[in-house]
A and B are shown apart, each in its own frame.
Chain A
Amino acid sequence: MTDPIVSAMVFYALAAFTLVAAGFVALSGNIVHSAFALFATLFGVAGLYAYLSADLLAVVQMLVYVGGISVLVLFAVMLTSGLDGPLTSNPTFRLGGGIVLMLAVAAAAFVAATAVPSGVESAAVPTTAAIGDALLGAYVLPFEVVSVVLLAALVGAVTLARGYKGGHR
């Protein structure tokens, strides 16, 4: 068993890393910086998963989010922003409302979170096998449905991104 102090410090380091990166995502004026910060945020969340001993999820997060979605977002950034000015590529508006909303949500989340009892930490055991069982047992229907959803999304994305050949419709 590790030292609780060290353990807590690891958690806080991870959390701080995640949140600072998320802050960059939300606040940076440069869309490319935002994209890379998103990369870091997702990485940090993967770390938190690992810290929660959700090993499979941490790996999936790395593969799907960090490896897949981030790259996708980067592509989108490159495909959609002109080369002329990445520095002004991420402008904001309605800042006042956004700040109010952010503070209110954070406050509400804080109030709600601190009212929650600490809970009992379950034993840190590898979860992969159990999740695999669950996916092909109790959750087999959602599992299959989600595969259909993925396929549909794939086809839909291809159709959308390809655009229409000729004609108006």
Chain B
Amino acid sequence: MHEVAPVLQDFPLLFLIPLLPLLGAVWNAVMGARMQRRFGNAAVHVPAILFPAGSFVISLWSFITLAGAPHGTSMYNYLWAWLPIGNLQADVAFLMDRLSGVMALVVTFVGTLIHVYSTGYMKDEPAYWRFFAYLNLFMFAMLVLVLGDNFLLMFVGWEGVGLCSYLLISFWWREREKAVAGMKAFVVNRVGDLGFSLGVFLLFWGLMTTPASPPASNHGQVDAHGAAVAAHGEEAPALGTSVAFREVEQILQDPVKRTRIVDRNVLGIGLITLVCLLLFVGATGKSAQIPLYTWLPDAMAGPTPVSALIHAATMVTAGVYMVARLHFLFTLSPAAMTVVATVGALTALFAASIGLFQNDIKKVLAYSTVSQLGFMFVAVGVGAYWVGIFHLMTHAFFKACLFLGSGSVIMGCHHEQDMRKMGGLKKLMPITAATYFVSCAAIAGFPFFSGFFSKDEILWKAFNSGNILLPGGGLILWVIAAVAALGTSFYMFRSYYMTFSGEYRGAASHGHDVVAKADGAHGAHDDPHSTDAHAAHGAHADPHSDPHAADVSGHDAHGGHGHLPVESPWAMTSVLAVLGFLALAGGYVGLPLLWGLPNVFEAWLEPVFASTADRVTSAGFGHGVEWALMGFSIIVAFGGFFAARVLYKDGRSPIPARLIASESALVQGTHRVIFNKYYVDEAYGFVFVKGSLVLSRALALWDSRVIDGLVNLAGTIGRAFSFLQGAIDRLFVDGLVELVGNVIQAAGTRMRRVQTGRIQAYVQGMALGALALVALAYLLAW
């Protein structure tokens, strides 16, 4: 087939990796309800855990086989020819190379753990079976996304994870906010998906319509349908007609062919740049980057294990994975890479700044996720693909741990998510607290924790990048990212101290605070500290739909017998312990080369990105600079930590400014503390009331601008279109006097209100649009 083809080693069990979770999903979808009723929860979760665990075992097996194989080998499993249409050839085939191997391992491992955790977290859920069916379905879709060997299969997984995300965010769909949050995620993702599909189409079109000067390689995966091959036998051979990643990569590796496709322009932009930008639009949707990040904080309405699995560890990293997977495209376009890195850096800073002021523990983590994804995009944007994937992996560990820890806390606190009503949990939930602290240290980038290695490497690569077209090169990226890292450290430890240190502030049992707290429990909807306009509602809505939860908060409100939080069951804490350990130790596979130690991770991924390595340039800073930057990262991490510690440790400082500003000052009583409090209070008063209000207004404005802008844009387009349609109508029926009035009226009506609710009007619009496209194609071909 190809003389330089990477070696494909047949691994016939590869298809089982996605298939097993699918079987689990089908099993629980069909039998789950009955099994749960008759045999209890175990009958649901045992198969639901075993199937993903099975795919983890097979992934591991394949991964080990891969490790034993020579460089450049990929595990490959061809199933069937999926879409042999004309020149298009898409197969259902799975490919595990070193990149997708890492991803598959992370997904199956973290996924399985979260399944285990869910058995504890969801144990009182009536629709237990439905939850596990969805989770398994998600695993299936994610693994198809990761292991699919071509664009179309990846797209199937891409849409599949979107669907599961939607299903799981609105898992408690009886509550309106949650249903709405699910829909929001779905719609925002659609915008990104459109970009993704357009990018794929454009790439395919570009490859197919660019004639290759040397005879194109005759790819004949399946020639069973000889007719299709014969039909285009006489035309000049195109660059390629494949949508498989490795084949496109090979085409682009050929210098002659590469020049031909790189030189092509569409609409005045380089074809490859446009393709990359469109694909990146898809990535911004899936991975919650500016401007499409808005759905992710709302997605916290879903059950916490879902937030951990889908909205932190796996699905949202799909965009990063996609960019890394398509490194052979992105490295061809410095402009696109600059956009990726810049958007990533801005998102990192932006989300980190929002995270500073959140009081809902899950919202903090949500914004933190957005921010960390931004870091990953910085890495892949500067061409440091292995670093991006490295951070993806360490992030999967520590962020999953953080989310699951927050789930444990939320469960312990009777479904309270507001950190101001937590506190003191270190004594009550020691395992949760310890793992949470370790993960905080990891995400903040404490030396020798996993996040340190990956994040520091990102900062260094950004600083040292020679691919960035911005003035100042990577320096500006580095500055933004470093500030974001400082914010990260601060708000993560803020959340830790608010939650775990000091006294428990939840089911208050002491004196006059009760009224204020009960008031807070209900009145937090108009919380001025909440910078996200949508945040407050979700925050206090009970994550469970079970009736007794409402009961509990009722007790709390009366300041009654508040049972103290207790540590979660072992199913949850053991998972936390495993993830906490990985948050600590997961980084040792990627030790910095600077230390003279072997970097296993980079070496492992090196063959994947070898073909484009020469196109990623560095600015050539030396070791001295790298040491200095590393030192600076450590200072940043500890700076954020100490700031948070001073301000939030033990709840001495008056953080919940609105609630307890003067009261807690009286209660605590010492001048020093009062002074300290007042000092911080002033600072906070300024930052919150002025700064944060301004900020939140700005953000709200931004939100409404973005969303409204999109809606208005759609409306304007629709209007323009109906105007066109009306014009066409009038032109055609010029002679038909009787119809003129009718048509103009119809066009006018439609111009006023495009959305008539009449499906036939939509059909008509669609048909006319298709006709217009046909006419356009006809005219262009002429």
Contact = CB atoms under 8 A, between A and B. Distances in A.
A148 B743 CA distance: 45
B732 A100 contact: yes
B768 A101 contact: yes
A94 interface: yes
Of A95, A97, A99, A108, most buried by chain B (CB within 10 Å of CB) is A97
A96 B225 contact: no
A98 B763 CA distance: 11
A100 B743 contact: yes
A131 to B, nearest CB: 15
B739 interface: yes
A139 to B, nearest CB: 11
Given A96-B739, A96-B746, A100-B728, A108 B774 contact: yes
A112 to B, nearest CB: 7
Contacts of B771: 104-105, 108
B746 A94 contact: yes
A101 B224 CA distance: 40
A111 B733 CA distance: 20
A96 B732 CA distance: 10
A34 B778 CA distance: 35
A104 B732 contact: yes
A96 B774 contact: no
B774 A112 contact: yes
A103 interface: yes
A88 B736 CA distance: 25
Interface residues of B, number: 21
A103 B729 CA distance: 11
B764 interface: yes
A141 interface: yes
Interface string B200-241: 000000000000000000000000110000000000000000
Contact of B729 (A96, A108, A112, A138): A96
B744 to A, nearest CB: 9
Contacts of B80: 141
A108 B770 CA distance: 11
Interface in A80-112: 94-101, 103-105, 108, 111-112
B764 A95 contact: no
B7 interface: no
A134 to B, nearest CB: 11
Interface residues of A, number: 16
B775 A97 contact: no
A138 to B, nearest CB: 6
A94 B760 contact: yes
Contacts of A100: 728-729, 732-733, 743
Nearest to B767: A101
Contacts of B767: 101, 105
B717 interface: no
B761 interface: yes
Contacts of B739: 95-96, 99
B743 A97 contact: yes
A108 B728 CA distance: 14
Interface string B738-778: 01001100100000000000001100100110010011001
Nearest to A141: B80
A64 B767 CA distance: 28
Contacts of A105: 767, 771
A101 B771 CA distance: 9
Nearest to B732: A100
B750 to A, nearest CB: 9
A138 B760 CA distance: 38
B733 A138 contact: no
Interface in A37-87: none
B743 A96 contact: yes
A101 B739 CA distance: 13
B733 A96 contact: yes
B770 to A, nearest CB: 9
Contact of A97 (B224, B729, B736, B778): B729
Nearest to A102: B767
A101 B774 contact: no
A99 B733 CA distance: 9
A15 B775 CA distance: 26
Contacts of B742: 95-96
Nearest to A98: B764
B675 to A, nearest CB: 61
Of A94, A99, A112, A141, most buried by chain B (CB within 10 Å of CB) is A94
A100 B747 CA distance: 12
Contacts of A104: 732, 768, 771
Contacts of B746: 94, 96-97
A99 B768 CA distance: 12
A103 B728 CA distance: 12
Interface string A116-157: 000000000000000000000010010000000000000000
A103 B732 contact: yes
A105 B728 CA distance: 13
Contacts of A138: 224-225
Contacts of A108: 771, 774-775
Contacts of A101: 764, 767-768
B764 A97 contact: yes
A107 B224 CA distance: 37
A162 to B, nearest CB: 20
A10 to B, nearest CB: 29
Of A96, A104, A108, most buried by chain B (CB within 10 Å of CB) is A96
Contacts of B225: 138
Contacts of B778: 111-112
Interface in B706-747: 728-729, 732-733, 736, 739, 742-743, 746
Contacts of A141: 80
B29 to A, nearest CB: 13
Interface in B420-466: none
Going nearest first, the 7 A-B pairs with the smallest beta carbon separation are A96-B743, A96-B742, A96-B739, A100-B732, A100-B729, A104-B771, A97-B746
27 contacts: A94-B760, A94-B761, A96-B729, A96-B739, A96-B743, A97-B743, A97-B746, A97-B764, A98-B764, A99-B733, A99-B736, A100-B732, A100-B743, A101-B764, A103-B732, A104-B732, A104-B768, A104-B771, A105-B767, A105-B771, A108-B771, A108-B774, A108-B775, A111-B778, A112-B778, A138-B224, A138-B225
Interface of B: 80, 224-225, 728-729, 732-733, 736, 739, 742-743, 746, 760-761, 764, 767-768, 771, 774-775, 778
Given A97-B764, A112-B774, 13 more contacts: A94-B746, A94-B764, A95-B742, A96-B742, A96-B746, A97-B743, A100-B732, A100-B733, A101-B764, A101-B768, A108-B771, A138-B225, A141-B80
